[in-house]
A and B are shown apart, each in its own frame.
Chain A
Amino acid sequence: EAGVTQFPSHSVIEKGQTVTLRCDPISGHDNLYWYRRVMGKEIKFLLHFVKESKQDESGMPNNRFLAERTGGTYSTLKVQPAELEDSGVYFCASSPLRGEAFFGQGTRLTVV
């Protein structure tokens, strides 16, 4: 069974550009989460989907971040326009309705 996959694994963009991160959860997992780890700090929650609905987006830093989950399957996280402080590793995780979360390998975003 395929795990949680994230694309791309690395992305380097200039300040002001747009970047879209993608997450494919484990098939059948209704819960999908986005987390972010900025260098040297804790991994922070961004938002939580249950199927296609946003259950909790309290961790989204500002309106430059937009997350979607098309048809309750894969999810995208768009940063527009990107700022230097957005650099970090973005993790996606999925879980069934009851059970532990499985994480993807992360996308390392560098804004220069």
Chain B
Amino acid sequence: AQKITQTQPGMFVQEKEAVTLDCTYDTSDPSYGLFWYKQPSSGEMIFLIYQGSYDQQNATEGRYSLNFQKARKSANLVISASQLGDSAMYFCAMREGRQGGSEKLVFGKGTKLTVNP
């Protein structure tokens, strides 16, 4: 069974607008972490934001915020005030197991975001 689902293969947004990238996950482990990574055309994977399953508040990092809805098992990434440099592939990932530990990540297929001028 797929553990991370990103239903949007591609998304388009106008510069300066906000965009939401969807991610749903499946796990029976009460302790897990959710991550978003950005992969620009240059290829590197850039860590954006992290949400722990026990965190009470939604994570925020600058223009990135994670809309964590635990009951619905969703962890959508919201990018506010999109910039041309935000055009990239975005991957949602989950780490199961004890919080704070470094365990393997399970990735979704990714969403290609294009920001139009």
Complex CA gap A106/B41 in Å reads 12
Chain B 1-40, CB-CB to A under 8 Å as 1, else 0, gives 0001000000000000000000000000000000101000
Does the CB pair A104–B44 fall under 8 Å? Answer: yes
Instruction: Decide if B43 is an interface residue (CB 8 Å cutoff).
Output: yes
User: Which positions 77-110 of chain B face chain A at CB distance < 8 Å?
Assistant: 91, 93, 100-110
Does the CB pair B104–A102 fall under 8 Å? Answer: no
Chain B min CB distance to A78 (Å) = 21
Q: A105-B43, A106-B44 are in contact. Are A95 and B109 (CB under 8 A)?
A: no
Does the CB pair A100–B44 fall under 8 Å? Answer: no
Chain A residue at smallest Cβ distance from B104 = A45
Chain A min CB distance to B61 (Å) = 11
Chain A min CB distance to B40 (Å) = 10
Q: A43-B91, A100-B35, A100-B50 are in contact. Are A105 and B106 (CB under 8 A)?
A: no
Residue numbers in A under 8 Å from B45 (CB-CB): 91, 93, 103-104, 106
Does the CB pair B104–A56 fall under 8 Å? Answer: yes
Chain B residue at smallest Cβ distance from A58 = B104
Where the two chains meet, the residues of A that have a C-beta atom closer than 8 Å to any C-beta of B are: 9, 31, 33, 35, 40-45, 48, 56, 59, 89, 91, 93, 95-106, 108
Contact partner of A59 (CB less than 8 A), chosen from B46, B91, B102, B104, is: B104
Number of B residues, CB within 8 Å of A: 23
Question: Interface centre among A40, A96, A103, by most B CB within 10 Å?
Answer: A103
Where the two chains meet, the residues of B that have a C-beta atom closer than 8 Å to any C-beta of A are: 4, 35, 37, 42-47, 50, 91, 93, 100-110
Does the CB pair B102–A97 fall under 8 Å? Answer: yes
Does the CB pair B102–A98 fall under 8 Å? Answer: yes
Does the CB pair B108–A42 fall under 8 Å? Answer: yes
Residue numbers in A under 8 Å from B107 (CB-CB): 35, 42-44
Does the CB pair A106–B43 fall under 8 Å? Answer: yes
Chain A residue at smallest Cβ distance from B108 = A42
A-B pairs with beta carbons under 8 Å apart, 10 shown: A43-B91, A43-B105, A44-B107, A89-B43, A98-B101, A100-B50, A101-B102, A103-B44, A103-B47, A108-B43
